[in-house]
Amino acid sequence: MWILSAATLVNRSGTMVLAFLVLYVTHTMGVTPARAAIALMVYGVAALLAMPLAGILSDRVGPLPVMKASLFLTGFLLLLFPLAKSYSAILLMTFAFAVLNESVRPASLSMVSDLVPPAQRKAAFALSRLAANLGMSVGPAIGGILAVYSFRWLFLVDGSTSILAGVVLALAPIRNVGRQKMHEPEWTDATDLGREIEADSVTPLAALHPAADLRAFRNPRMLYFLAALIPVQLVGFQLTSTLPLFLVRYLHFKESVFGTIFTVNTLLIVALEVPLNAAMAHWTHRRTLMLGAFLYAVGFGSYALVGIAPFGRTAGVFAAVVIWTFGEMILMPGSSAYAAEIAPPERRGEYMGLYTMSFNVAFAMGPWLGASILGKWGATAVWGAAFVSGCISTLLMSRAEPRKGPDPSQPSLVR
């Protein structure tokens, strides 16, 4: 698990091409920002297509080969990317970049699920997120410095770190656990962390049905979970769209204040997410998912009140950051652990592909919805809608607990 996280850290530390893609296209092609932004749309569409396919491939050949192939091929593609000299060639390279780059995510989540028993999954996913956040806090910052000299350096560094991460996995003594666990019994919810945990495994349900009946797109429990998750995902993506507009145009803060939000968010995640999830390992999935979604709702919803906060607007803004960051630290590892729990072992990659695809769907919808509400009805409306949306997820998550035992006559979604 630590080796896998180390590879994630190396890979994410060089992540910079995507952050500067629009600037690169406008600089290289001399096109308008709107036309350059089409490259991001192409990336998003390709990612939507790639994630479920990468998940299915992980089930067929194992997650480790998919991860290594994704990292190596992404690295070599980035080294060749600057050779694209036309607008259409850049869009084609961007599509291929998205397919290869995003294929690592469902495979990585599937592998984390297989490496540790259920009692440790929340902490394991938190560790993986910690590595990703640490890397992302470094990569774009270095990219900004390199872009001053030449955009080619972005592709060289990003591609090299991707290849280096693949080397870490290639040299590490990690088994291709996905394929080897396909016909093994699932981990049991024992006292893996030295404490009793509530057994909420769905293995009995998986045993009742042929594997074909438990495909991710056919599993009502999985579809319900994603439907419950998307409303709060829409709230989370206001961070990069509506929130900066609100802070700068409505509260008249400087842009540096918005940048500081990322610093506070990252520091809290680095310091607290892993021990927090280790301490919550014995919590049921329902309790974890409900609390995470509700803290998101309260955190973003409270921006509607910062203008009248008795302790000042700045303190109100950062108090909200702390609240929704705790929601993020609880909900993100918890939702990954839940998706792993409800997936039959032989289809875990497929489930993780569908799970990660839901984030892309929310990313495509959330910023547009938030900006539209902000423009038409104002700040109070958008943050009120964020609170309601998060509460909807909280309510739906209250019925997302896995069944406690087999019921051949009623393989239902809820207890």
Give residue for tokens 């956040």: 133
Given a cut of 70, the residues of the chain with pLDDT beneath it are 175-213, 307-311, 401-415
Distance CA 405, CA 413 (A): 12
Number of H helices and number of E strands within the chain?
18, 0
Could you tell me which residues come within 8 angstroms of residue 346 by beta carbon, excluding any fewer than 6 positions away? 59, 182, 183, 211
- The answer to whether 236 and 329 are in contact (CB under 8 A) is no
pLDDT tens-place string over residues 189-229: 433 433 333 334 444 344 444 444 578 788 888 999 999 99
Quote the pLDDT of residue 302.
94
- The answer to whether 415 and 403 are in contact (CB under 8 A) is yes
Distance CA 257, CA 354 (A): 35
Quote the pLDDT of residue 201.
42
Q: How far is CA 141 from CA 137, 154, 201, 205, 336, in A?
A: 7, 11, 42, 47, 28
pTM: 0.77
Distance CA 344, CA 217 (A): 13
Cα dihedral 3, 6, 12, 14 sign: negative
Opening angle at CA 112, ends 108 and 115, nearest 5? 135
Distance CA 342, CA 20 (A): 37
Quote the pLDDT of residue 227.
94
The token duo for 285 is 């999935």
pLDDT tens-place string over residues 28-69: 888 777 787 788 788 888 888 888 889 889 888 989 999 999
